[in-house]
């Protein structure tokens, strides 16, 4: 029987027993995790000594803080690296390491709301579930746009809705790799649409949780960065990079942030982020991953993931299962299998479809076993 926490300390044997059981459950589950985009191939043992200290990246990473036990210097390097990947000059970029994609999306939408308080927010029904929550928290007006069958936003519906409200600033929530189907919204087409409608006050935030670390490392990427017309972008750290705790990064233009920051005497730093106290381990982990892999290492990693995805599509199709994926996507979509298969492989189903995501820990033997289960 599992004990519960009470007022008295638990015996050390019971504490260790609880932890050992949890570790065993996690180890067993990790061997059949193909449905969610979290890279489990990482080793941050070099960072373990930092867990002996109370590190805190409170406030803006680009300003000195009275709290000296921080990793702000490493965080700035992470932001600079992402600026290069997402195609914005480092001197024009500002960002910080977040707790994950939801916070990154919230920050981008918060900036847009501060720049255009009376804006209407537009996002697809395929958009990540955090976005509807975020716009409600911001108490912003919004219109949900239809999605296409492939997961991209319905551009005709978006055009019609913006045209009706063309006198109101437009905030567009685009997705670079949708959660379920891996669709990539066409940023350049959306920008051209806004120009055609003469909407001069607009803002595009891109949720690039997974594909923001894929498209920079392929030869022929879809438009995805600041050069394509985004104003801010959120990328996850625990997905392709891999981490033992959720983390991510949000990147935007420095000029926007200067309009919302304020000085906080208590900690001697600019308050420009959403959270006050922030994890210092997330920046360290992403810095360490970039330091170990380099751009060529990530390119090799991405190439391997895409090769595995193509292998998976082929194996499904050979067994008569109509699987498919988008170009430059590691999300493989196929008809929903029985519930016991979904539970075994920890898949993410939606209606009559399911998907697998070929993260680096997903091997071809795992694909073979999964396909065999689905073909029964």
Instruction: Give the whole-angstrom CA distance, residue 212 versus residue 225.
Output: 8
Neighbours of 252 (CB within 10 A): 26
Please name the residue that has the structure tokens 């803002």: 203
Instruction: Give the whole-angstrom CA distance, residue 284 versus residue 243.
Output: 10
Instruction: Give the whole-angstrom CA distance, residue 337 versus residue 283.
Output: 38
Q: Which residues are catalytic?
A: 329
CA-nearest of 57, 56, 54, 59 to 266 is 59
Long-range contacts, stretch 288-296, CB < 8 angstroms, 24+ apart: 288/44, 288/46, 288/47, 289/42, 289/241, 289/242, 289/243, 290/77, 290/78, 290/81, 295/217
The two structure tokens encoding residue 169? 């600033």
Please give the sequence-ordered ranges of beta strands (E in DSSP) within 117-218, or none if there are none. Answer: 120-124, 141-145, 170-175, 202-207
Instruction: Give the whole-angstrom CA distance, residue 360 versus residue 216.
Output: 17
Please name the residue that has the structure tokens 């997330």: 282
Task: Please state, in angstroms and as integers, the Cα–Cα distance from residue 334 to each residue in 185, 361, 362, following that order.
Answer: 21, 20, 17
Instruction: Give the whole-angstrom CA distance, residue 359 versus residue 376.
Output: 25
198, burial (CB in 10 Å: exposed 0-12, middle 13-18, buried 19+): exposed
Instruction: Give the whole-angstrom CA distance, residue 50 versus residue 345.
Output: 34
Query: How many residues are recorded in the chain?
Result: 376
For the chain, give percent helix, strand, coil, nearest 5. 45, 15, 40
């Amino acid at each position: 029987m599992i004990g519960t926490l009470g007022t008295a300390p638990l015996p050390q044997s019971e504490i260790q027993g609880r932890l050992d059981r949890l570790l065993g459950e996690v180890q067993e589950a990790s061997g059949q995790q193909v449905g969610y985009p979290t890279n489990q191939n990482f080793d941050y043992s070099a960072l373990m000594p930092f867990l002996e200290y109370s590190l805190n990246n409170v406030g803006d990473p680009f300003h000195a803080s009275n709290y000296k036990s921080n990793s702000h210097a490493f965080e700035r390097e992470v932001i600079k690296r992402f600026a290069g990947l997402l195609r914005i000059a480092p001197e024009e970029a500002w960002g910080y390491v977040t707790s994950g994609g939801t916070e990154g999306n919230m920050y981008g939408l918060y900036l847009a709301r501060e720049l255009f308080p009376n804006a209407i927010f537009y996002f697809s029904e395929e958009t990540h579930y955090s976005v509807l929550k975020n716009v409600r928290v911001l108490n912003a007006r919004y219109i949900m746009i239809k999605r296409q069958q492939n997961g991209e936003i319905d551009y005709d519906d978006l055009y019609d809705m913006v045209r009706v409200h063309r006198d109101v600033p437009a905030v567009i929530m685009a997705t670079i790799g949708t959660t379920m189907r891996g669709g990539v919204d066409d940023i350049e087409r959306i920008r051209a649409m806004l120009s055609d409608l003469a909407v001069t006050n607009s803002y595009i935030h891109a949720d690039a949780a997974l594909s923001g670390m894929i498209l920079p490392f392929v030869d022929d990427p879809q438009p995805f960065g600041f050069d394509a017309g985004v104003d801010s972008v959120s990328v996850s750290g625990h997905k392709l990079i891999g981490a033992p705790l959720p983390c991510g990064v949000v990147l935007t233009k420095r000029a926007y942030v200067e309009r919302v920051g304020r000085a906080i005497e208590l900690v001697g730093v600019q308050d420009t982020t959403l959270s006050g106290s922030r994890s210092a381990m997330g920046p360290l982990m992403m810095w360490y991953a970039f330091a170990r892999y380099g751009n060529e290492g990530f390119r090799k990693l991405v190439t391997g993931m895409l090769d595995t995805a193509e292998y998976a599509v082929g194996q499904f199709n050979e067994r008569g299962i109509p699987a498919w994926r988008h170009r430059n996507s590691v999300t493989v979509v196929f008809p929903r299998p029985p519930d016991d298969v979904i539970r075994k492989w920890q898949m993410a189903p939606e209606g009559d479809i399911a998907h697998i995501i070929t993260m680096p820990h997903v091997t071809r033997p795992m694909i073979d076993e999964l396909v065999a289960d689905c073909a029964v």
